[in-house]
Chains A and B, each alone.
Chain A
Amino acid sequence: MAFARTSAGSRSGTRASRVNGVLLLPALVLFLPLLIGPLAVLLDESLKPYEAGRIGGTEGAELTFENYTELADPAYVHYFLDTFRIGLIVTLAAILLGYPIAHFIVRKASPWLAKLLIASLIGMLFLSLIVRIYAISMAYGPLGPFNDVSWLFGIDPRSPAKTELMVIFGLLHTVLPLVAITLISTIQNINPRLEDAALSLGAPRWKAFTSITLIMSLPGILSAGIIGYAFCISNLVVPLILGKGFVLFVSNLIYFRFSEISNFPSGAAISILMMLISLTIFYGLMRLVRDKNGEARE
């Protein structure tokens, strides 16, 4: 409410800004508490000591940082490492596969082919995660006809490394359309005449592509990567099903705290930590990309 009332420089004067206040009211009264409430409760819970056998933290006890400090234990490190490492692999793979598709759609495909591909990408994005995971385990899993694909990556289909590959496939199937769609708008914003200019100045096509279009889309690639990465590291269901206990993300850890041992304070602490990491990566890096980009242009 305070926001609306201080709206001095509104476009259409004070009457219109009063209208703005009314428009914002439902979100401020209904949505904002719904968003802030759970996060505040998580924060509160994460500061309570855990008592085994009790659901929820101890009421009235003194606040403690124990739930956070225990996360420094080496036993937890591999959850974080796995999450960030696999997220990175998936994001890089998504960019490698997604950029050519996005470029093809914007620059080379005929209008109907472009539309078909865009529809497929949105369809791939809309596809239920459950369907996706199931289909991937049916196709590339131990019983699937494409089980041996893992040899292409030098991985024995019977080794634990195969489960990691399955998790990567599962995440990639969602992140790929996400990254490709984001890159389409990036490439759309690059003047196609620039590549023509490079060709007329004697550059071969591959060089015109890499030194002009690719370089100019770096900020877009980075933000697409950040979006994809944020999705990867916060995913629960893909490692839960395809990881089969061999590959565990931080999200799995939070879920176990809830479902297996009911250690809510610890789950809350990990949640808060995970959220901070995600928000930092997303908004922090996004800002960095934008600032760097702005510098080069000015």
Chain B
Amino acid sequence: MSKRYADAFFFTGYYGLIALAILFALIPIVIAVVLSFDNRTFIGPFPPTDWSFRWYEEFLTSDYYHQGLKTSLIVSSTATLFSTVIGALTAIAIDRGRFWGRGVLQSLFISPLVIPTVVIGFGVLMFASRLGIVDGLPRLIMGHIIITFPYVVRTTLAALIGLRPSYFEAALSLGATPYQALWHITIPLARTGIIAGAIFAFVMSFDEVAVSLFLSDPFTYTLPVALLAQMRANLNLTIAAVSVIFIIVTIVLIWALDRIAGLDKIVGQGVYGRIR
């Protein structure tokens, strides 16, 4: 019987930790959602006494945020497009190839996940200025390509790992050229990995702050940089409203990711996975 008591004790702790983790994760989000409907113009005691949509209106009518959102969308979609096309091709080459330096090359392509974002931001800033690029937009796109590229390479590689080379070889034996086989066989088979990579890339780029902080200029700034500046200036509930919008968009993205690639699959491979 003492074994049973020990088990009961142990699993109380086990479920206690799970409950603690869920509470810790959820409380801030619930608070932010509630506060976004607060009618008060100062941050008063919780919960709010008066409700309104004023912070949503403020966000939707502010030129400052609009400018940031526009820049964010341009930067993130350009960087995602670039990373998805080139990253997918790179992953296919790495998966198929058995060439010297393959491991090194792969580590190199994945390395931006590990290099501190501050370093990437600072580095791109100086690199761009030496190339004579002083405009915010191209700098931001450069920085965001670096940080999004590894996600596409990773997810595409993960999708390709399970594929037998015989598919490609069968296509060749049926008379297809390597390029036809690639276009009609390999890329469609890796499709879910590529799309999942694109979604990851877009999300990571859209949320990115540290790199953008270095590369923005007074006229070109991303939405997170704009929010960060507001947050440092004064605690303003507009950000709570933006948070709710972000949370909704996140939920939609998760749903899309599940429909396209299947969440279990993504998690099964690990988001960062093991370095091969």
Contact = CB atoms under 8 A, between A and B. Distances in A.
Interface of A: 2-4, 6-12, 15-17, 19-21, 23-24, 26-27, 30-32, 34-35, 37-39, 41-42, 45, 56, 96-98, 100-101, 103-104, 115, 118-140, 143-146, 169, 172-173, 176-178, 180-182, 184-185, 188, 204-207, 209, 223, 227, 230, 233-237, 241, 251, 254-255, 258, 264, 267-268, 271-272, 274-275, 278-279, 282-283, 286, 290
11 contacts: A7-B100, A12-B96, A24-B94, A34-B146, A97-B24, A118-B264, A127-B29, A139-B32, A185-B269, A234-B116, A241-B232
Given A103-B14, A236-B209, A283-B107, 14 more contacts: A2-B101, A9-B98, A26-B85, A42-B126, A118-B264, A122-B254, A126-B250, A127-B246, A173-B24, A182-B273, A234-B116, A234-B119, A236-B213, A258-B125
Contacts of A16: 96, 172, 178
A203 B206 CA distance: 49
Given A122-B266, A185-B269, A278 B116 contact: yes
A268 B220 CA distance: 24
Contacts of B89: 23-24, 26-27
Nearest to A145: B46
Contacts, number: 321
Given A100-B18, A123-B251, A181 B118 contact: no
A168 B241 CA distance: 25
Interface in B209-223: 209-210, 213-214
A48 to B, nearest CB: 11
Interface in B168-206: 168-169, 172, 178-179, 182, 203, 206
Nearest to A7: B99
Given A42-B119, A145-B46, A119 B254 contact: yes
Given A31-B145, A31-B149, A282-B114, A140 B28 contact: yes
Contacts of A188: 268
A261 B146 CA distance: 27
Contact of B10 (A39, A135, A205, A271): A205
B118 A251 contact: yes
B147 to A, nearest CB: 10
A279 B108 CA distance: 11
Interface stretch (B1-9, B50-58, B59-67): B1-9
Contact of A118 (B46, B214, B263, B275): B263
Given A241-B231, A255-B118, A19 B99 contact: no
Interface in B78-137: 82, 85-87, 89-90, 92-94, 96-102, 105, 107-109, 111-112, 114-120, 122-127, 129-130
For the residues of A in contact with B, the DSSP-based class is helix
Given A12-B165, A38-B124, A26 B90 contact: yes
Contact of B11 (A4, A205, A258): A205
A100 B24 CA distance: 14
A227 B272 contact: yes
A237 B209 contact: yes
B118 A274 contact: yes
A203 to B, nearest CB: 8
B104 to A, nearest CB: 9
Contacts of A255: 118, 213-214
Max chain A Cβ within 10 angstroms of own Cβ: one of B31, B112, B203? B31
Given A134-B240, A181-B271, A129 B209 contact: yes
Given A23-B89, A97-B24, A251-B116, A138 B11 contact: no
Residue with the greatest number of chain B CB neighbours at <10 A, chosen from A32, A127, A188: A127
Contacts of A282: 114, 275
B271 A125 contact: yes
Given A3-B100, A12-B172, A19-B182, A130 B209 contact: yes
A243 B82 CA distance: 35
Contact of A134 (B90, B122, B231, B250): B231
Nearest to B9: A206
A274 B165 contact: no
Contacts of B97: 4, 7, 10, 17, 20, 24
B92 A31 contact: no
B25 A173 contact: yes
B83 to A, nearest CB: 8
Contacts of B43: 138, 143
B260 interface: no
B207 A128 contact: yes
A129 B207 contact: yes
A244 B50 CA distance: 30
B226 to A, nearest CB: 9
A32 B11 CA distance: 50
B182 A37 contact: no
Nearest to B214: A258
A268 B122 contact: yes
B213 A274 contact: no
B75 interface: no
Interface string B215-258: 00000000010011001100100011011001100110110011
